[in-house]
């Protein structure tokens, strides 16, 4: 498993604990860290920042603008995930 050096904020951990195993919508300001909660929720990453090996999870992320989609794409690639 690859690792990243992300430190989670208390609100992110509380949000993840609340939505774990459920369908959910997160609302928080831009740049606050919603995506990291989504990575935890989807199982792409664990609480220690370890990334699951490519091909073991399948998740669809959407975004309202192409620039944001491109940012997530590049971020996931840097994490070593197979992104298509």
Answer yes or no: is pLDDT of 67 > 90: yes
The answer to whether the CB of 37 falls within 8 A of the CB of 11 is no
The answer to whether the CB of 43 falls within 8 A of the CB of 52 is yes
Answer yes or no: is pLDDT of 77 > 70: yes
Answer yes or no: is pLDDT of 5 > 60: no
Mean pLDDT of the chain: 79
- pTM given for the model: 0.65
Express each pLDDT in 11-52 by its tens digit. 888 888 888 888 888 888 888 888 888 888 877 776 666 676
Beta bridge partners of 50: 3
The answer to whether the CB of 79 falls within 8 A of the CB of 52 is no
- CB neighbour list of residue 37: distance below 8 Å, 6 or more residues apart: 12, 15, 16, 19, 26
């Amino acid at each position: 498993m690859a690792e990243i050096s992300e430190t989670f904020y208390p609100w992110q951990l509380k949000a993840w604990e609340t939505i774990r195993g459920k369908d959910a919508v997160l609302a928080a300001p831009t740049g606050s860290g919603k995506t990291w909660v989504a990575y935890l929720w989807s199982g792409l990453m664990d609480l220690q920042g370890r990334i699951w090996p490519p091909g073991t999870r399948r998740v669809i992320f959407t975004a309202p603008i192409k620039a944001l989609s491109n940012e997530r794409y590049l971020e996931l690639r840097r994490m070593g995930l197979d992104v298509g």
